[in-house]
Amino acid sequence: MVDEAVAFRRDLHRAPELTWEEHETAAVIRRCLDAFGIAWRACAGTGTVAKLAEAAAGRSIALRADIDALPIVEASGVDWASRRDGCMHACGHDGHAATLLAAAGWLKAHEAELPGPVTLLFQPAEEGGHGAKAMIDGGALEGVEAIFGWHNWPAIPFGKAVCPDGAVMAGNGTFEINVRGQGGHASQPELCRDPVLAASAIVTALQQVVSRRISPQAPTVLSVTRIQADGGAPTVIPDGAVIGGSFRLGDPDTRRQMEELLEEIARNTAAAHGVEADVSIQPRYDATVNHAEQAAQFREALVAELGEGGLDVGLKTPIMASEDFSYYLNEIPGAFALVGADDGPGHQHPCHSPKYDFNDRLIEVVGRTYARIAGCPVKEQ
């Protein structure tokens, strides 16, 4: 099953599909489930919900994989590199899907021994598309009592993993600030209201949010990633400028404070420069916060696979990347783990890098871990 899952993963890597466009990916996954004899239904369009041991009397759990790719030109150099220009599996969702399929085949072979129902979620649109919310709205969690998910993480050595109680990944948001001034000739600034100067001052002032306005005990990142002025002539002061960026929040309670500070600093700094500023904020995802009981269960299964030292990782959590698995954990108890992928050349590149490639050795490790969480017999190695 692992060998077949590796071949499946590489085929999927050759044919990536972007957020909400995963039609071929969904079709291939569904054909695999048919071959296993596992009942499934479509959910959220390109998502799939499959069921095992529905009549079992024990606790009902769900196992989740995401399936979408990213708009990145691949430069990995692997034989199974993307054949679709400008699109690649740069975050390992191909590997996540393959791992869940490997686990699905094993669970189906031992379905009669499962203590409780198992739901398999093949979720679209994790990369900013709020696919988890769409799956929930489509009834994916009906009857489910606990949910488990994972992400490969090249910043952790292979054979190691983290699954803390509490926040494991940060929440995030994006913002855009439109600065409205009055343009004119660059030789007569006194007749203008310069939005470029004001925008520069706003960018500088925003750097004080994390260092001076938010508690150092609350992990937070604010990054300005874009500043652009109207027009384009060296002798013209433009009418307006746009500032864009993102923020990351390890503590969900910090979100309102961050949003209020963005509004306050942008408007007041603009006013001090004789211009106006309008702030637009997109909240994106909440922090991914593990529930203690399920995190302990996940850690127990990981230790069974990785050994007693498998959780001895220096990585501080929450990491500041974000995940829409947070939607599931806001609905029902569950846990999310980061499992190390770095075993040397080829697997040390970070997620979202054009050189990234999923480490296929993780398929057996996490497939077996999923089987343990489901209460399925696993042959000891």
User: pLDDT by residue (tens digit) across 272-291?
Assistant: 999 999 999 998 999 999 99
Where do runs of H (alpha helix) occur along the chain? 2-14, 23-36, 93-109, 131-137, 195-206, 208, 255-272, 292-306, 326-331, 361-373
Q: What is the pLDDT of residue 149?
A: 98
Instruction: Write out the residue limits of the CATH 3.30.70.360 domain(s) in the chain.
Output: 171-282
Confidence band of 350 (pLDDT split at 50, 70, 90): very high
Locus of tokens 């959220």: 44
Give the mean pLDDT of 57-63: 97
How many whole angstroms from its chain centre is CA 34?
28
Give the mean pLDDT of 20-33: 98
**Amino acid making up residue 14:** R
Above 80 in pLDDT, residue 127? yes
pLDDT in tens, 313-344: 889 999 999 999 999 999 999 999 999 999 98
- Residue 113: HSE in the Cβ half-sphere, 13 Å Cα cutoff: 12
Residue 259 CB-density burial (10 A; 0-12 exposed, 13-18 middle, 19+ buried): middle
**How far, in Å, CA of 358 to CA of 154, rounded?**
9
**How far, in Å, CA of 267 to CA of 103, rounded?**
53
Homologous superfamily of the 2-169+287-373 domain (CATH): Zn peptidases (3.40.630.10)
Q: What is the pLDDT of residue 112?
A: 97
Tokens coding 24:
């071929």
Q: How many Å is the Cα radius of gyration of the chain?
A: 23
How many whole angstroms from its chain centre is CA 230?
33
Give the mean pLDDT of 81-99: 98
Give the mean pLDDT of 149-170: 97
Tokens coding 298:
């996940």
Quickly count: other Cβ atoms within 10 Å of residue 342's Cβ. Answer: 20
What's the chain's length in residues? 381
Give the mean pLDDT of 53-63: 97
Q: What angle do CA 271, 215, 218 make, to 5 degrees?
A: 115
**How far, in Å, CA of 149 to CA of 23, rounded?**
22
Above 80 in pLDDT, residue 381? no
Q: What angle do CA 61, 65, 68 make, to 5 degrees?
A: 150
Above 90 in pLDDT, residue 251? no
Q: Which stretches does DSSP call E strand in 118-200?
A: 118-123, 146-157, 161-162, 166-169, 171-180, 184-185
H/E stretch holding 215 reads: none
Above 80 in pLDDT, residue 232? no
Q: What is the pLDDT of residue 123?
A: 98
Tokens coding 188:
């007569």
Q: What is the pLDDT of residue 95?
A: 98
Above 90 in pLDDT, residue 312? no
Which residue numbers belong to the known binding site?
A: 91, 93, 127, 151, 352
Q: What is the pLDDT of residue 64?
A: 98
Confidence band of 229 (pLDDT split at 50, 70, 90): very high
Which residue numbers belong to the known binding site for Mn(2+)?
A: 91, 93, 127, 151, 352
Quickly count: other Cβ atoms within 10 Å of residue 294's Cβ. Answer: 23
Cα–Cα distances in angstroms (integers) from residue 76 to residues 61, 70, 81, in the given order: 36, 14, 7
pLDDT in tens, 42-51: 999 999 999 9
Nearest to 206 by CA among 259, 256, 249, 170: 259
**How far, in Å, CA of 371 to CA of 19, rounded?**
28
CATH architecture for segment(s) 171-282: 2-Layer Sandwich (3.30)
Instruction: Write out the residue limits of the CATH 3.40.630.10 domain(s) in the chain.
Output: 2-169+287-373
